[in-house]
Amino acid sequence: MKASEAIVKCLINENVDTVFGYPGGHILEVYEALRKSKVNHVLVRQEQAAAHCANGYARVSGKVGVCIATSGPGATNLITGIATAYMDSIPLVAITGQVNSMKIGRDMFQEADITGATESFTKHSYLVKNENDLPRIIKEAFYIASTGRPGPVLIDIPSDIQAAKIKKLAIPETVNIRGYKPTTKGHIGQVKRAIKAISESKRPLIIAGGGVILSHAQNELLQFVEKTGIPLVHTLMGKGSLPTLNRHYFGMIGNHGFSGANRAVSKADLLIIIGTRVADRTWGGVSDKISEGMRIIHIDVDPAEIGKNVGTHIPLVGDAKTILTQMIDRIEKINTDEWLSELNSDKRAAGKRATDLVNPRHAIETISKKLNDDAVIVADVGQNQIWAARYFEDKIDRRFLTSGGLGTMGYGLPAAIGAKIAAPKRQVLAVVGDGGFQMSLQELGTISHKKLGIIILLFNNSRLGMVRELQERFYGKVNAVELDKNPDFIKLCDAYKIKGIRVTTDSELEDAFDKAIRHKGPFLVECVVDPNESTLI
């Protein structure tokens, strides 16, 4: 058997039915083996999109996303997508072609040291030197990518290794890596300490992060919150961890979160941080000093996150779902009525800014009401992301995807492709700005080609709106943010045979969204937004 066929067999053995990729000279063998297999290959229009597609696919399917690229520029184009997945802990396996193993290091045509280049943002990587190692390496790669704190793993395979013969394909059934034994279950002594601290607290508050979503712990978190009565705020990546309408829900914290939610953090006497590193953008929003004597319980599957950005009194290393389950059985209701009513009275309703054009908040709220209870929303990066994060209603089966850690513009459209392919029956909404949209425009080709029924909600303010906001705040002047020569996006979509409507006032939104939802196939709703619109509306 050819090694390339073994690679595909190993992928199928890992339950892979869809891969995203772009072929090239040093990955030809793998593509020939893919052609002969049942694996569905989605051809993207640029490799970075393959990694973002695999990211969206992984987050919606719960499986490991797979992307494939050739050596050299194919591999280097993947880098931003791999780094995006790394920062958000998304399980990905990236397979790259490499030049002939005997010629590595001679600066061959399309040679790039991709394991070296991605070293700082892959969870692990392999440069395959012997074809007989492939079954073990692929098995390990999927295991490493999906267990513990998930993340991207890269497998770089030289062309001669792909073409080599393997005598007998023996896929190992188990993985044993002596340097990698992630902890999932919480230390029972620490669980008891945490429960004691919770029972003694008067003003406990949960900060839920992306780890809750990654470990599929939404139901456990809901149970925990309902049983204890503890209020919850969340990070950008933790959006969707608790339904918006739950009475314990107090919104998103952080620089772009709600001030009431940020104030809640500073007023609490006990923080229960679950599955978040509490990065600068999260903690930066908590402007008031945290209360004296506040205690912190930090639950995270990655021990290195505990104590990194915030001090911790009770560390609890393990998987969010497992630990919440351990705690639910042992914990009792605490009296939080007074604390909840205090938080409720601090929830100030933000007023909507009057505009002759489309109010982005109104647009998000309107489509949120219309979409199904299991819809997937993918937000790009920038103002559109913040509007979506603040005003899209979370339900237990909905999913919110965005590039929270790396903040990669251009993520939205390809991630929505991956999401739609993972769940063809679910509604997928891509929220993008005119800046980020143009970073991935080429993927309209993929959407059109695969006839993917994605709704694209484009906020067009002919600006890089977030940068404009920052420049005005810090310098009082703007530079290099005007996109006044934007193309006609409706015509552009038309060229890709994608239908679209341009909406210029709030009153047209209902009708436009109804059309978009009814339409079978991709649909663009372009909302013209005031260039001076702010994220904190």
Partner 1 sequence: MNRHVLSVLVENQSGVLSRVSGLFSRRGYNIDSLSVGETEDPKVSRMTIVVRGDDYILEQIKKQLNKLIDVIKIVEVNPQQSVFRELAMIKVNTTMETRASVIEIVSIFRANIVDVSSETLTVEMTGDESKIEAFINLMNNYGIAEVVRTGLAAIERGSKQIKNQKVNEEE
Site of interaction with partner 1 (CB under 8 A): 115-116, 119-120, 123-125, 127, 144, 177-181, 183-185, 187, 302-304, 307-308
Backbone angles phi, psi at 386, to 5 degrees: -70, -40
d(CA 467, CA 478): 8
d(CA 323, CA 234): 18
Q: Measured from the CB atom, is 144 or 253 closer to partner 1?
A: 144
Q: Compute the least distance from the CB of residue 184 to partner 1, in Å.
A: 7
Q: Compute the least distance from the CB of residue 103 to partner 1, in Å.
A: 17
d(CA 394, CA 408): 23
Q: Compute the least distance from the CB of residue 112 to partner 1, in Å.
A: 16
Q: Measured from the CB atom, is 100 or 184 closer to partner 1?
A: 184
Q: Compute the least distance from the CB of residue 303 to partner 1, in Å.
A: 6
Q: Measured from the CB atom, is 134 or 236 closer to partner 1?
A: 134
Q: Compute the least distance from the CB of residue 36 to partner 1, in Å.
A: 32
Q: Compute the least distance from the CB of residue 134 to partner 1, in Å.
A: 16
Q: Measured from the CB atom, is 180 or 396 closer to partner 1?
A: 180
Q: Compute the least distance from the CB of residue 98 to partner 1, in Å.
A: 14
Which residues share a beta bridge with 278?
A: none
Closest CA to 446 of 411, 417, 408, 416: 417
* DSSP states along 315-360: EEES-HHHHHHHHHHH------HHHHHHHHHT-PPPPPPP-SS--H
Q: Compute the least distance from the CB of residue 157 to partner 1, in Å.
A: 15
Q: Measured from the CB atom, is 304 or 536 closer to partner 1?
A: 304
Q: Measured from the CB atom, is 189 or 476 closer to partner 1?
A: 189
Q: Compute the least distance from the CB of residue 142 to partner 1, in Å.
A: 13
Closest CA to 139 of 124, 161, 129: 124
Q: Measured from the CB atom, is 183 or 462 closer to partner 1?
A: 183
Element spanning 74, H or E: helix 73-87
d(CA 123, CA 302): 12
If DSSP codes are grouped into helix, strand and coil, which group holds residue 81?
A: helix
CB burial readout 93-126, b (16+ within 10 A) else e: bbbbbbbbbeebeeeeebbbebbebbeebbbbbb
CA atoms within 13 A on the CB side of 478: 15
Q: Measured from the CB atom, is 257 or 405 closer to partner 1?
A: 405
For 119-155, give the secondary structure using H, E and C: HHHCCEEEECCCHHHHHHHHHHHHHHHHCCCCCEEEE
Q: Measured from the CB atom, is 123 or 234 closer to partner 1?
A: 123
Tokens of 69: 């690229």
d(CA 257, CA 445): 35
